Amino acid sequence: MPNSNHLTNAPSTCQIPGREQFKHVIFGPQAWSGYDEAYFPAIRDAVDTGDWPAAQTQLEKAARILRRASEKLLD
């Protein structure tokens, strides 16, 4: 019984506990829409919550990965 209570109460019902399995920095499911097309999901998530420092961190990470992938095209 206590265990079931924890199970039902634990994650607040209107939040998804992250989706780290999705690794692609440009394409990925959005937090709140399964069908629409979505680009830069991690950045958009941060923008949606108004967390600007997180948005900037995610943006710089995406930029770094895109830059490295582009450099590898000519390596």
Partner 1 sequence: MLEVLNVLSALRKQGWRPLRSIHFASWDAEEYNLIGSTEYVEDHMSDLRDNAVAYLNVDVGVVGDNFWAAGSPVFERALLRVLDRISDPVKNGTLRQRWDDGKSKLEGLGAGSDYVAFQDMAGCSSIDFGFGSKDGAQGFPYHSCYETFEWMERFGDPAVSVLCDADEGDGMCVKGFNYHKMLAQAWVLLILEFAQEPVVPFDLKIYATAVKGYVDDLEKYAAAKGSKEKVDVGPLREAATLFEKNAKVLHDWDDYWYSQVFGRGGFENSAMAYDRMTHNARLTDFETNLLDLPAGKDDHEQHGVSPLLSPFSSQSQLQLSRFLPLALHAKLKSPH
The letter for the amino acid at 67 is R
Residue 28, SS3?
A: coil
Shortest reach from residue 20's CB to partner 1, in Å? 4
Residues in contact with partner 1 by CB under 8 A are 2-3, 6-7, 9-12, 15, 17-31, 33-52, 54-75
Shortest reach from residue 27's CB to partner 1, in Å? 6
Query: 72-75 contacts: CB < 8 A, separation 24 or more?
Result: none
Shortest reach from residue 38's CB to partner 1, in Å? 6
Other Cβ atoms less than 10 A from the Cβ of 42: the count is: 20
